[in-house]
Amino acid sequence: MIREVQIHERLSLAQTIPLGLQHVFAMFGATVLVPFLTGLSPSVALLSSGIGTIVFLLLTKSQIPAYLGSSFAYIASLTYFVQDQNNLAAAMGGALTIGIIYVLLFALMSFTGSGWIHKIVPPVVAGPVVAIIGLSLTPTAANMASEQWYIAIFTLAVTALLSIYARGFFKIIPILLGITAGYVVAALAGMVDFTAVKASFNHIIASPINLETWAFPAFDKTAILMFAPLAFVTIIEDLGHMIVLGNVTHSDPVEKPGFHRVLLGNGLATGIASFLGGPPVTTYGENIGVLAVTRVYSTFNLWVAAIIAILLSFISPLQALIMSIPTAVMGGVSLYLFGMIGVTGIRNLIEAQVDFSKTKNLIIASVIFAVGIGVSSHGVAYATLAGILLNLILREEKEEVPSQAEAAEVAEKKKVSLKET
């Protein structure tokens, strides 16, 4: 069994680069999917995620191994302004508003502290939230895998087998090896289109930012109204991710370095993304899955992943090569990652010995699972909010204390029973 690599440990560069690549592969699909859907540039999204992650790591004192990628929460709002209204400036103004809200909440939490978070998010809330973060992502993974199921299943099988039976360093890079194996099989099956890869060598270095289409963020009332409420949705998602991360890495990022620093890092990263022309960023559950699988929690790997993402935004052949990975391959790996996160939540409930004979606990967990899985849009955030509110509103059941007469009757029965024996 391979040992866990702790947050502040550093492996050799030869080991760190493949581990960083795993994080890049984990975030890549979702990070570039958002700009594809909304009309933004995938290259700028990669650049924003890399710079944003570095800013986040700096402001959290490199104590939280998290990666920031494009947020799905703002797809509808971005699409409306970028594609329907052809108003990139307003869209970026809305994104900048998100960053400002985060920074304001950081200032507030700096005075109030973050100790109260554990009181409103006990294990009965945290466990189910962890589970649905993974389970809610599985439909996306299954949809990706459905592009070609036999490729996805092969990739999943290779990744799982390597996680169990591989030895040495190979045991901590099963995702990278699984993707590579799936890519090779897909290429042999004629599923990989190398046209873009070949064409990219004509312009090896290219700026990700197109100055002809770039726009300075502009504050628009409609954009602010559409973006601002969603900030609280992604904040709740961030909290859920920090809870997951703490359980996976045996740390407590909510307390140290503090959730207020998470908000500051995420807020400034989103603000920077808005000036670059990229979507708002958020912490990624996919990369937490990588940590859970590899058991390598070093933040140095996230630094490397961020640098690779920035390089990919400039280097056309590298970006084209990753873009050529078949969707089914990524779907197979995603099924593995998201499933791992889901099971981690169930494990947390067991380890915390949550008593489900208590009606309050049963109701909280049931509602979180129902909302998190049943609501398709931001279900995790709404489920987290519902769990927190129920935990605060519902009272603990009072144990019935027997009266003196009832106690005397029970004692008398015990005496009779002892005499008979």
Closest Cα partner for 2 from 173, 156, 158, 175?
Answer: 173
More confidently predicted of 227 and 282: 282
pLDDT at 164 over 80: yes
Residue 392 has pLDDT above 70, yes or no: yes
For residue 377, what pLDDT band results from cuts at 50, 70 and 90? low
What residues does each domain of the chain span?
Answer: 13-393
The whole-angstrom separation of Cα 381 and Cα 28 is 22
Q: Mean pLDDT across the chain, nearest whole number?
A: 85
Task: Reply yes or no on whether the pLDDT at 2 is more than 60.
Answer: no
Question: Would you say residue 400 has pLDDT above 60?
Answer: no
Please report which helix (H) or strand (E) contains residue 374, including its range. Answer: helix 359-374
Q: Please give the pLDDT value at position 56.
A: 97
**What is the structure's pLDDT at 419?**
59
Res. 399 pLDDT band, cuts 50 70 90: low
- Which residues have a Cβ under 8 Å from the Cβ of 60 and sit 6 or more positions away? 66, 253, 257, 261, 262, 265
Q: Residue 228 burial by CB count (10 A; 0-12/13-18/19+): exposed, middle or buried? A: middle
Q: Provide CB contacts within 8 A for 146, sequence distance 6+.
A: 152, 328, 331
Q: Is the pLDDT of residue 397 over 80?
A: no
Is the confidence at residue 412, as pLDDT, over 60? yes
Q: What per-residue confidence (pLDDT) applies to 364? A: 93
The answer to whether the beta carbons of residues 281 and 68 sit under 8 Å apart is: yes
Q: For 306-342, what is each residue's pLDDT tens digit?
A: 999 999 999 888 778 877 888 899 889 888 877 887 8
What pLDDT does residue 150 have?
94
The span from the CA of 26 to the CA of 17, in Å, is 14
Query: What per-residue confidence (pLDDT) applies to 125?
Result: 86
Q: Give yes or no for residue 46 having a pLDDT over 90.
A: yes
Residue 53 has pLDDT above 80, yes or no: yes
Query: Which phi and psi (to 5°) does residue 178 adopt?
Result: -65, -45
Locate all alpha helices (DSSP H) within 39-67, ordered by sequence: 42-59
Q: 314: closest CA among 214, 203, 207?
A: 207
Percent of the chain with pLDDT over 90: 35
pLDDT tens sequence across 66-119: 999 998 778 778 888 998 889 999 999 999 999 999 999 899 888 887 666 667
The pLDDT tens digits of the residues spanning 264-293 come to: 999 999 999 999 999 999 998 878 888 888
Choose from 63-77, 168-182, 296-310, 386-400 the range with maximum mean pLDDT.
Answer: 296-310
Tokens for 222, please give them.
Answer: 């409609």
pLDDT over threshold 70, residue 417: no
Q: What is the pLDDT of residue 38?
A: 81
Is the overall model pTM greater than 0.75, yes or no? Answer: no
